[in-house]
């Protein structure tokens, strides 16, 4: 069985967790502080604030930007649902822009069409490890005075034109087990703005700066030292894993080149893509899935229903028609690309796709 994702926990992670267990300090403490410092330095941002998940990272980021009822935030419908739900949590209104058909990230021209007097922020998602069109998005944000909140939950370590993702605005990361690095559950927010970083620290801790003095409505969105201990070790491994993901992607692309009806992932010019997912389109998705399943190979469809068509949005009256996102949901197929795959396993994955693509269609 070749799985679509395979988190790696080594002896060092285990030892680091045992050390925390033995220390008696289990909740947020010095390991969290150390993880924040190292993560900020690794990203190239001035501050990092650790939280309990990528979802709470997005929620806190919006609150720290003072986004709430009456405000609109533009995001992509082709993502994990947290990219939009965080806007609802903040009491603001999500507006959906369509995506680019080549890279599946939010389309800057469509963002401009969604801007109103109420728009406060844009949440671009660096989907599958591919940077969103940040140069154009940064220009739009500057022109209209909008905040940028990067959803970098799938893009640890990616860059665009030499600039790391996570430094274009406020940026949110997830450490869920399937991501490029993990802490079990966990999240991180990066920013260069000291005031925002301070607000985020207060919000994750019950609105408290001084013990039991609650200056605002906050939450318990803390990370534990157990998670941070794992994260500190994973941070020493993630560059190597990203490089392996890139090599794996190159091998799949070489092997799939020329297979009829198969479109391999495109990398945006100037980008380093960290291949959280390796996502293709094929002429016949059902037949390709059957071929993969027959050979014991896992796959994923990210995402089968675009966010604006999910029940939670339908119920809220969303009737948007976003043709590129809707077509992508009907076509995409993600193949195993994780760093634990061997060359022979990668060949098996590609061969299964090629076999389905080359099978004659029975009339
Ligand atoms: C994983 C993910 C999230 C949410 O992260 P959690 O840690 O699972 O809460 C948000 N956005 C995107 C694009 C993700 O892939």
Residue 73 and residue 92 in contact, taking contact as beta carbons nearer than 8 Å: yes
Q: What is the pLDDT of residues 288-343, one digit of tens each?
A: 999 999 999 999 999 999 999 999 999 999 999 999 999 999 999 999 999 999 99
Give yes or no for a contact between 146 and 172, defined as CB atoms under 8 angstroms apart. no
Can you tell me which atom of ligand 1 is nearest the CA of 179? Answer: 1
Within a 13 Å sphere around the CA of 26, how many CA atoms are in the beta-carbon half?
4
The CA 260 to ligand 1 mean position distance, Å, reads 33
Rounded to two decimals, the pTM is 0.97
Q: At what angle do helices 343-358 and 225-256 cross, to 10 degrees?
A: 50
Q: Quote the DSSP letter at residue 205.
A: B
Task: Give me ligand 1 centre to Cα 266, in Å.
Answer: 22
pLDDT in tens, the chain (363 residues): 999 999 999 999 999 999 999 999 999 999 999 999 999 999 999 999 999 999 999 999 999 999 999 999 999 999 999 999 999 999 999 999 999 999 999 999 999 999 999 999 999 999 999 999 999 999 999 999 999 999 999 999 999 999 999 999 999 999 999 999 999 999 999 999 999 999 999 999 999 999 999 999 999 999 999 999 999 999 999 999 999 999 999 999 999 998 999 999 999 999 999 999 999 999 999 999 999 999 999 999 999 999 999 999 999 999 999 999 999 999 999 999 999 999 999 999 999 999 999 877 665
Residue 125, ligand 1, Cβ within 6 A: yes
What is the distance in A from the centroid of ligand 1 to the CA of 54?
Answer: 5
Q: Which of 7, 51, 54, 306 is the pocket-test mutation for ligand 1 (most atoms within 8 Å of CB)?
A: 54
Residue minimizing CA distance to atom 14 of ligand 1 = 153
- CATH fold, domain 11-98+105-235, is 3.40.640
Q: State which ligand 1 atom lies nearest to the alpha carbon of 56.
A: 9
Query: Any idea which residue has 């944000």 for tokens?
Result: 141
Distance 147 CA to ligand 1 centre (A): 20
Enumerate residues 6+ apart whose C-beta is below 8 A from 223. 28, 32, 35, 50, 51, 52, 183, 186, 187
Greatest C-alpha distance within the chain: 73
d(Cα 10, Cα 13) in Å, to the nearest integer?
A: 5
Residue 295 token pair: 């050979």
**Which residue out of 154, 166, 223 has the highest number of ligand 1 atoms within 8 Å of its CB and is therefore the one to mutate?**
154
Alpha helices, DSSP H only, in the chain? Answer: 11-23, 30-43, 54-64, 82-89, 108-114, 134-144, 194-203, 225-256, 285-294, 311-314, 323-331, 343-358
CATH topology of domain 238-358: 3.90.1150
Contact 146, 99 (CB under 8 A): no
pLDDT tens per residue, range 171-209: 999 999 999 999 999 999 999 999 999 999 999 999 999
> Percent of the chain scored above 90 by pLDDT?
98
Q: What is the domain partition of the chain in residue ranges? A: 11-98+105-235, 238-358
59 vs 84: CA distance, rounded Å? 10
Q: Which residues pair with 214 in a beta bridge?
A: 208
């Amino acid at each position: 069985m070749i799985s679509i994702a395979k988190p790696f926990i080594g002896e060092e992670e285990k030892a680091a967790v045992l050390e925390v267990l033995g220390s008696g300090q289990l909740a947020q403490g010095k390991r969290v502080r150390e993880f924040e410092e190292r993560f900020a330095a690794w990203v190239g941002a001035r501050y990092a604030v650790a939280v309990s998940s990528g979802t709470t990272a997005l929620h806190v980021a919006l609150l720290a930007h003072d986004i709430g009822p009456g405000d609109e935030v533009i995001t992509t419908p082709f993502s994990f649902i947290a990219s939009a739900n965080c806007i609802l949590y903040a009491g603001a209104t999500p507006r959906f822009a369509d995506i680019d058909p080549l890279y599946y990230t939010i389309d800057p021209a469509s963002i401009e069409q969604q801007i109103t007097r109420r728009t406060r922020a844009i949440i671009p998602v660096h989907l599958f490890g591919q940077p969103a069109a940040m140069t154009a998005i940064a220009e739009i944000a500057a022109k209209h005075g909008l905040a940028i909140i990067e959803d970098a939950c799938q893009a640890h370590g990616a860059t665009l034109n030499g600039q790391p993702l996570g430094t274009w605005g406020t940026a949110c990361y997830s450490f869920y087990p399937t991501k490029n690095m993990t802490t079990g559950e966990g999240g991180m927010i990066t920013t260069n703005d000291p005031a925002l970083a301070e607000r985020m620290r207060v919000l994750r801790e019950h609105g408290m700066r001084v013990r039991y003095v609650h200056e605002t409505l906050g939450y318990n969105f803390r990370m534990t030292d157990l998670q941070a201990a794992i994260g500190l070790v994973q941070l020493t491994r993630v560059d190597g894993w990203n490089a392996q993901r890139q090599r794996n992607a190159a091998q799949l692309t070489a092997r799939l080149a020329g297979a009829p009806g198969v479109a391999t992932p495109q990398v945006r010019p100037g980008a380093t893509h960290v291949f959280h997912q390796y996502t293709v389109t094929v002429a016949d998705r059902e037949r390709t899935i059957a071929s993969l399943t027959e050979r014991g190979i896992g796959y994923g469809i990210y995402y089968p229903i675009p966010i604006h068509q999910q029940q939670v949005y339908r119920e809220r009256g969303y009737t948007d028609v976003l043709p590129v996102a809707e077509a992508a949901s009907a076509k995409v197929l993600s193949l195993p690309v994780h760093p634990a795959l061997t060359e022979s396993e990668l060949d098996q994955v590609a061969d299964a796709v090629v076999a389905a693509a080359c099978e004659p269609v029975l009339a």
